[in-house]
Chains A and B, each alone.
Chain A
Amino acid sequence: MKLLTKTTLNFLSVTLFIFLFGIVAFYFLLRIQVEKNVNFELDKRKSSIITELESANPQNRIPPNPNERIIIDVLSENDSLLQYSYSDTLMFDKISNRYVPFRKLGFVTDYQNQKIYVQIFKSLEGSDLLIVRIFLILTILVIVLIVSLLLMNRITLWQSWKIFYDTTKKIGSYDVNKHEQFTLNSSDITEFEDLNRVILSMTNRINSDYLNLKEYTENASHEIQNPLAIINSKLELLMQSGELKENLYKAVFEAYEASNRLSRLNKALILLAKIENRQFPESEEVDLSSLINKQLELLEDIIDAKKLVIRNSISPDFSITMNPYLAEILFINLIKNAIRHNFEHGEIIVEQSTSSISVSNTGPEIKSDTADVFKRFHKSSNSSESLGLGLSIVKKICEVYNFEIVYNHDKMHTFSLILNNNHQIK
């Protein structure tokens, strides 16, 4: 839930709560006040009626009020229960032809030695109308107040938060690889200004760290390759010298082999680091069918040596948008993996569907946990020539492009590359 929505909801629930209770309380208070008022008037009227009855002077009669009715009954002895009382009632009004609310005051008095029961009715139509109007005006006023407050609140908040949303959008699309100047809009809100300042100093730090790391990767590669080159060349010279005994010769060759492996390992680790650092940003449409055919051709010798049967059903118009160099590395590693862990006279199947591509091969069962196949330096065979980095490189490349790589084993070992929506095959 957005903060703006949350504050609005809180504001609305509190004001509506107060408003509803207030309005109800107000209504009842108003009613009580009006009732008191009417009662007071009725009392006044009562005293005037009593005075009138006592004087019995027709001239003193108070002129009849259209809002008022007076009923006088002679009481028998039995009706002694009737008392001085106020009450509400409805009476039929002949003029408007409907029932109208009245306030009634009933009291007993003496008239010419007779007890009489006098009821004074006072129409409440006017005061009811007044209550309703006051109530309406007040309600409208309060609603207008709430709505305008709400609007003002929203507009202010929206304007202030615009900077915040802008900042989050920019951070979301921030890519340290793009090397572009990272700027944020300034805000008149201190908190957002603080946030921007912190983010800017953070991105600057990330940038410089990233550049340092890149430099380090390059330098490390160079620095390690140099001594390796020396070792290799010296060992090669030793082997050429012809002065070595056979057992020494073998030892030198093994050292030579090991230094070669170390160099390949170094290269593979640098490649992994480079992929992790997203140092292959350019991408273009890569024709997968020709890429895979080319690679199968390159590996033909190894395939022939193992007498493998290749079934390649990639259609010629199959292409994918990614870095061409990474595409090459991705598929060569998958295919090499399928060749290495295969039987002689085995089979490799390269297949496609609309959103995935899979490389399957026959081969011995994997003894260890199948989830470990993508881990660095995981080797299922004890072949010393294998570095155990091929599939981690595959996995890394997939992470860069948000592809999913899945391994499953059912008769054949299958690696399926599931492409995401942005990389739908055309």
Chain B
Amino acid sequence: MKILIIEDEKPLSDSIVEYLKTEGHNCEAVYYYADAIEKIELYEYDCAIVDINLPDGSGLDIIKRIKIKLNSLGIVIISGRNSVENRIEGLEIGADHYLTKPFHLAELNAHLKSINRRINFSGQNEILVNEIKILPDEHRAFVKEQELKLTRKEYDLLLFFISNKNRVITKISLAEYLWGDFMDTADSFDFIYTHIKNLRKKLLKLGCEDYIQTVYGVGYKFDLTIG
């Protein structure tokens, strides 16, 4: 995907670019409102990552301009503001996702993947990863054409793993992606472990490779290089 990153904090912008480049995206970064408007008028993008607070303007205005030009463009807001009103306002003017800073790059990546699916595969849409096939519109997953019977959480977990395949996924980002703000007091990550154990068991039962690797003390990795 061609992605425009509008974020005034250069180090953060750099991190995003670096992470997304390894995913094969074509990224461009701008740091000012005026530059963002210029880029939007001149070039075509699939997706934009927009910070609300820019030194010379509001990211919300940029989103409004984008939506006038190309309504299908995917938009992820990244903002330091965590109030309900900000969130609602951002989503109302057409943003796909609203991430509060600080966010996990893995989470941003997962959201971009879902935008990518919406834009590029509208209609017949399936994700193929070795022997695993996922139909995101129907929330169904298959291993070697046999259907996997997954709970809602297990399905989300699998999708998150596949979105961030071959990467280290910290248990913190996993927990926040799956449980949102309610996880802020997690005393233990036992229940994440339970879900992952169940998912792995179901995958193995249908003859799938054991891709889910534990990274000791840190989290997990969906490692496709294993097979």
Contacts and interface: CB of A to CB of B under 8 A. Distances in A.
B191 interface: yes
Contacts, number: 117
A271 B84 CA distance: 11
B225 to A, nearest CB: 11
Contacts of A249: 218
A421 B43 CA distance: 61
B207 interface: no
A230 B11 contact: yes
Given A301-B179, A304-B191, A387-B185, A236 B101 contact: no
Interface in B76-99: 78-84
| A interface majority secondary structure | helix
Interface stretch (A54-62, A70-78, A220-228): A220-228
Contact of B100 (A225, A234, A305): A225
A307 B179 CA distance: 19
Given A226-B80, A257-B172, A301-B153, A232 B191 contact: no
A97 interface: no
B188 interface: yes
Contact of B82 (A230, A270, A304): A270
Interface in A251-269: 253, 256-257, 259-260, 263-264, 267-268
B49 to A, nearest CB: 12
Contacts of A253: 170, 217-218
B105 A237 contact: yes
A267 B82 contact: yes
Nearest to A274: B83
A15 interface: no
A390 B185 contact: yes
Most buried by B among A259, A302, A304, A332: A302
Interface residues of A, number: 47
Contacts of A221: 80-82
A270 B153 CA distance: 30
Contact of A299 (B11, B182, B190): B182
Contacts of B172: 256-257, 260
Contacts of A274: 83
Contacts of A257: 172
Interface in A317-341: 325, 332, 336, 340
A236 B106 contact: yes
A385 B185 contact: yes
B124 interface: no
Given A233-B102, A237-B105, A222 B53 contact: yes
A223 B11 CA distance: 14
B105 A233 contact: yes
B16 interface: yes
24 contacts: A229-B78, A232-B104, A233-B102, A236-B104, A237-B15, A237-B18, A239-B168, A239-B218, A253-B170, A260-B102, A298-B179, A298-B182, A301-B191, A301-B195, A302-B186, A302-B191, A305-B188, A305-B190, A305-B191, A325-B84, A336-B185, A340-B185, A385-B185, A390-B185
